Structure 1
Amino acid sequence: MRLKKYLFFAFGLTFTLLMTAFAHYRNSLRLVENITVEFEAQQFQFLNDSLVNKLLIQKKGALPWKAKDSLDLIKLEHLLENDPYIKNADVYHFQQGVLGVRIQEKKAIIRIQGPKQFFMDSSGDFFPISKNYTPKVPLFWGTMEEEQKPDLLFLIDQLNTDPFLRNELASIQYRSNSFFIGLRSFEFEVEIGQVRRLREKISKLKVFCAYRESHPSATEFSRINLKFKNQVVGS
């Protein structure tokens, strides 16, 4: 009786292993004949599915490829993420003979206008200007120093949390140890200083802008200074 159970178990295990090997063999004969590209939230700006296809084909060769189950998906993801406009890439098996690719593009929050021009995203990563798409983002005038990056990212983040200032912010500059910003609807320059007490400075700026809008004939200033506590200094 025990022998029969042992033989039955051995037969079942052998059958399972053979079926697994056969399935793996059949999969190994399949070819990847198509690539489907999906962009996160269906948003693509710098790239499109055709450009992603070309990038993969340039690196892997023309379709069809070897069996999709033998592809190193992680290597393909790293290959795509080496593209300066791609923040994250997921490569997966999608139906028979099709390779699925999901792309998250980098999102520019500012454009650096210095000796070299490039974009920067919210992670502080730089990427080049594109011929395919020009996002409407504020300009940073001058040379971007690495030590300025954390404060600049914080400044942009805080300004972008306010709907009014997010739409108004046109430019940022750093000189004489101070941040300066330019607004779209107002001609005066705004001296922020350092990013300390930034919420207070933003509040003062919004009050001053509201005053200027309601009093268009008031004294004109070419610059307002927000560095001093509880006051706005115009010049």
Structure 2
Amino acid sequence: MKVNWNYIKAFALLALIVFLYSFSSRRNSARSIEDIKVKFTNGENLYITENTVNKLLKVNEDTLANQSKEIIDLNKLENILDTHKLIKDADVYLTVDKKLIANITQRKPLGRVYGNKSFYIDEEGEKMPLSTIYTARVPLISGISEKELSQVYPLLLKIKQDKFLEEHITTIFKDKTGNYFLGLRVLDFKIELGKIEELDKKIKNFKAFYKKALKDKKLDTYKRVSLKFNNQVVCTKK
């Protein structure tokens, strides 16, 4: 019987490749983590520090820093980071040069509710705790409860998405009748918004009024500007 040495050589070569790959994988998995890097999306670490993230990862000589790569549960680390109330999303992965990378996306506030218990409303309309290291420059909101966050959220989104409103609106207040009032950064008159409805029309009317009053140099002559009435701006002079 003639032996086909070509098949034997091919099989031996395949076995050698499988062995080397398996050996390399085991050796690579057994390597310990030599460095841990915390990165913030867009370079922003306003509300939470790198040190806080490291503490959440339990980075010390006895836990993560010198553990082998094969026993590190990346999903578990991500879940730990995601539970922090100032973190929106965390992505944790390992590199070939034995580094553990944690990419952190922070939650961003749209407004700050002022009262007995102050807190932010984030970009998804959810309650967000204040940061001990940074205060966001967002409108101050008063007269609402936690149950009314969804009510004021569309207004906060509109302010955030509109450069003119973002530059001018500093306060939002709801009175006992359910009407909303807006305070301006420079001018001392109040804007009576009324209910948070038909915002596009109300904002369009206010911008038209503001542009004309600015041109006529009459902005300082008003104490209240009401947008609550249908398709009109009603002004009260000082």
Closer/same/farther in 2, CA of residues 219 and 132 from structure 1, 3 Å limit: closer
Residue in structure 1 matched with residue 141 of structure 2 by the alignment: 140
Inter-partner Cα distance in structure 2 for 1:35 and 1:210: 53
Partner amino acid, structure 2, of 1:165 = L
**Deviations for 1:45-100, whole angstroms, at most 9, x for unmatched residues?**
01232322222126995453322243221211111111111111111113422111
- Give yes or no for the alignment of 1:96 onto 2:97: yes
Q: Deviations over 1:160-211 (max 9, x none)?
A: 3322211111111233233221111222222222333211110121233334
**Is the Cα–Cα contact under 8 Å of residues 115 and 142 in structure 2 kept in the other structure?**
yes
> CA offset at residue 103 of structure 1?
1.0
Does the aligned pair in 1 maintain the 2:126–2:149 contact within 8 Å? no
Contact 2:30 2:70 (C-alpha < 8 Å) held by counterparts = no
Q: Which runs of 5+ in 2 are unaligned?
A: none
In structure 2, C-alpha distance between the alignment counterparts of 1:60 and 1:143, rounded to whole Å? 47
**Which deviates the most, 64-73 or 4-13?**
4-13
TM-score, normalized by length of structure 1? 0.86
Which residue number in structure 1 is paired with residue 87 of structure 2?
A: 86
Indicate whether 1:226 and 2:213 are aligned: no
Q: Which amino acid aligns with 2:86?
A: Y
Alignment of 1:171-186 (within 5 A): 171-175=171-175, 176-186=177-187
Q: Which residue of 2 aligns with 1:169?
A: 169
Q: Residue 154 of structure 2 corresponds to which residue in structure 1?
A: 154
CA distance in 2, matches of 1:194, 1:134: 28
CA RMSD of superposed structures (Å): 2.6
TM-score normalised per structure 2: 0.85
Letter in 2 for 1:158: K
For 2:79, what is the secondary structure of its paired residue? Answer: helix
2-structure distance, mates of 1:30, 1:10: 31
Determine the C-alpha separation between the residues in 2 that align with 1:168 and 1:214.
17
Q: Which runs of 5+ in 1 are unaligned?
A: none
> Residues 33 and 98 of structure 2 are in contact (CA less than 8 Å); yes or no, is this contact kept in structure 1?
yes
- Shifted more, 77-86 versus 225-234: the winner is 225-234
- Cα distance change on mapping 1:61 and 1:187 into 2, 3 Å: farther
Map 1:59-138 to 2 at 5 A: 62-138=63-139
Shift of 1:218: 7.1
Amino acid at match of 1:119: Y
Residue correspondence of structure 1 range 21-40 to structure 2 within 5 A: 21-40=22-41
Distance in 1, matches of 2:125 and 2:61, equals 30
Label 1:132 to 1:164 Cα distance change in 2 as closer, same or farther (>3 A). same
Letter of the 1:40 partner, please give it.
T
Task: Classify the secondary structure of the residue corresponding to 1:57.
Answer: coil
Q: Secondary structure in 2 aligned to 1:51?
A: helix
Task: Report the AA paired with residue 96 of structure 1.
Answer: D
Deviations 1:207-228 (A, max 9, x none): 3333443445578443322121
